[in-house]
Structure 1
Amino acid sequence: MPDPVTEQNRRSWNAVVPAHVSHRADEAAFLRQGGSTLFPEEVALLGDVRGCRLLHLLCNTGADSLSLAARGAIVTGVDLSDAAIAHARALSVASGIPATFVQADVYEYLAAAAAANTRFERIYAGYGVICWLRDLTAFANGIAHLLAPGGRFVLMEFHPASNMFNADWQLAYDYPQGGQTLTLPGVGDYVGAADGGLSPSGFLPGVRDFVNPEPCTLYRWGVGEVVTALVQAGLRLHVLREYCYVNGERPFTRMVATPERRMYPPADVPAIPLMYGLAVEKDTSDG
């Protein structure tokens, strides 16, 4: 039987996808003309992906997946949301950039791919992934099984330390840990709230005042728990970086944007880690 929390989260994502898409001007033309939705941080951690079989987990509506494919990777994108995958497939056709998109719960996909002896040289997940994982150990083990010897998993993620603050930069919450659940009214229209930070193809007003009718449940994990799960799965930590800015999103008030779509705290707020990135690798002798 499907996990009931996961099914409810799927409904919440299906509800918000049209609002997110409504703020992005002609993404297909943007990608077709050589545009990319990727940020320099994940590009650097992934390295040269030309010719690599690349799995993009929790790929959302597919623009990052197609940006990776345009860099020469052979891409498979996986996401829970039917609406997100339908959009990703249509975007692939409209942009002329080939990629395979699969609608599935991430744990079911990892298990099925392992059973089929599927292997990837790169696996990537980024920006708002960890909070949807109910089981870090199973996720890490699944990645370890699918990585080819010498392969690399890259994660770009919002720093859990930033979740300790409310929108006005006031310390208000405990540090996330232990997979504690957090139920919210629903996935919000963060693309609209980013005011162009997540719309490199061009920002459109789109849907206004979106209210998600479907609640969702998140899981709260710390950085140490993420790294430990990956290392205990047999993967070697290559790099762990923390950044005192965030790419694209505007989770706090008065954020200062740069032309590169980086969002910094205002001058009166001390620098705190808002984002982190890591790369782990599978030993070349590990089949």
Structure 2
Amino acid sequence: MDYLTTNRANWNARVPIHVDSDFYDVNGFKANGRSILRPFEVAEVGDVSGRRLAHLQCHLGLDTLSWARLGAEVTGLDFSDAAIDQARAIAADCGIPARFVTADVYDAVEALGETYDIVYTGLGALVWLPELTRWAEAVAALLKPGGFLYLSEFHPFPQVLDEETGTTVTYDYFDRGPHVWEEPHTYTGGRLIESHTSVQFQHSIGDVVSAVAAAGLRVDFLHEHDHTLFCRFATMSGDHTGYRLPEGAPRIPLMFSLRASAGLPRLSDEAS
């Protein structure tokens, strides 16, 4: 299966549903002037004032524009032309200067043609990539010396657990796929009229760290978090700020965040 064409059609079909959804609350984002980034992301990235930031796989660009509201000079990239059209329109309505580019993430270096202080990849992005080596190489090429990748993602471990209680190992952690899904609904609750098929790929924590290290980036930290942004298991409680397993239950990692830095050039490299 041509995963790229299939997934692009699927995400283009999702865009109008997502724009109108309560989940994204685009009108609220335009009106309130706030960032929708998670508090741990803002704390771990630090001050972005005046820094150039590229957001890969940016979808509607709300996270991208949230970094801009915190002071960054932002560029967003996504393979969905429908999503990029909406991102540009939202930026214009908000009066936020931002650049949005349509391209596959593997082609980001050529498509963007610039380097950045920060490359950001947000939640739910990596499952759409068949392998991470090319992704990490693209990230490294986009970074200025001394810049860093910041990745915020759903943890792969919960994927092996039963969906009711999250206590029984049901699926294979090392089954990387491809996994083909036929789903007439999107995670915002809306119904897709067409392009129901999507293709996803599972990556272990080891896959992520190894790809980043092989691209020449230095891992500064890998943090695992005991909460997530949706009701992953029926036993969870919470709201959009965080869902957790019942109090007293053993905790498991539900999200993770990683920061990895590009090295400064050596004197010998500069001389050459």
Conserved 8 A contact 1:54-1:123: yes
Residue 135 of structure 2 corresponds to: 139
Superposed CA deviations along residues 97-151 of structure 1, whole A, max 9, x for unmatched, are 12111111111223444xx4x2100000011111111221111111111100100
For 1:20 and 1:26, locate their aligned partners in 2 and report how far apart those are by CA, in whole Å. Answer: 9
Answer yes or no: is the 8 Å Cα contact 2:30–2:90 preserved in 1: no
The equivalent residue for 2:155 is 159
Identity over aligned residues, as a percent?
38
Shift of 1:77: 0.4
Aligned partner of residue 222 in structure 2, secondary structure: strand
Look up the match of 2:213: 231
* d(CA) in 2 for partners of 1:49, 1:101: 19
Q: Does 1:108 pair with 2:107?
A: yes
CA distance in 2, matches of 1:269, 1:214: 36
**Deviation sequence 1:67-112 (CA, Å, 0-9, x none):** 0011111111001112211111111011111211111111122344
Shift of 1:37: 1.2
State the shift of 1:26 in Å.
5.5
Matched-pair contact (CA < 8 Å) for 1:134–1:219: yes
Report the equivalent of 1:128: 124
Name the structure 2 match of 1:241. Answer: 223
User: Across the two proteins, how many residue pairs are aligned to each other?
Assistant: 264
Instruction: Give the 3 Å change call, closer, same or farther, for CA 267–33 of structure 1 in structure 2.
Output: closer
Do residues 185 (structure 1) and 179 (structure 2) align? no
Q: Which one of 242, 248, 272 corresponds to residue 262 of structure 1?
A: 242
RMSD value, Cα: 2.2
SS in 1 for 2:230: coil
Matched-pair contact (CA < 8 Å) for 1:163–1:176: no
User: Is 1:33 aligned with 2:32?
Assistant: yes
Residue deviations 1:4-59 (CA, integer Å, cap 9, x gap)? 21011000111122222222375345345322210012112221111111000000
Match of 2:259 in 1: 279
Structure 1: which 4+ aligned runs deviate by more than 4 Å?
Answer: 209-212
Name the residue aligned to 1:48: 47
Distance (Å, rounded) in 1 between the aligned partners of 2:126 and 2:204: 9
Asked if structure 2 preserves the Cα contact closer than 8 Å seen for 1:190 and 1:249, the reply is no
Contact 1:79–1:105 (CA<8 Å) still a contact in 2? yes
Matching residue's letter, 1:232: A
Q: TM-score, normalised by structure 2?
A: 0.89
Q: Could you say if the C-alpha distance between residues 264 and 28 of structure 1 is closer, same or farther in structure 2, counting changes exceeding 3 Å?
A: same
Query: Is the Cα contact below 8 Å between 2:118 and 2:143 reproduced in 1?
Result: yes
Deviation of 1:210 after TM superposition, in Å, equals 4.8
- The answer to whether the aligner puts 1:9 opposite 2:32 as a matched pair is no
| In 2, Cα distance between equivalents of 1:60 and 1:20 | 10
Matches of 2:219 and 2:37, distance apart in 1:
23
- Structure-1 separation of matches of 2:144 and 2:154: 27
Of 16, 19, 24, which aligns to 1:21? 19
Partner AA of 1:189 in structure 2? T
Deviation at 1:251, TM superposition (A): 2.4
Instruction: In structure 2, list runs of 5 or more residues that go unmatched.
Output: none
> Which letter maps to 1:142?
A
Given residue 272 of structure 1, which amino acid in structure 2 is its aligned partner? I
- For the Cα contact (< 8 Å) 1:55–1:77, is it kept in 2? yes
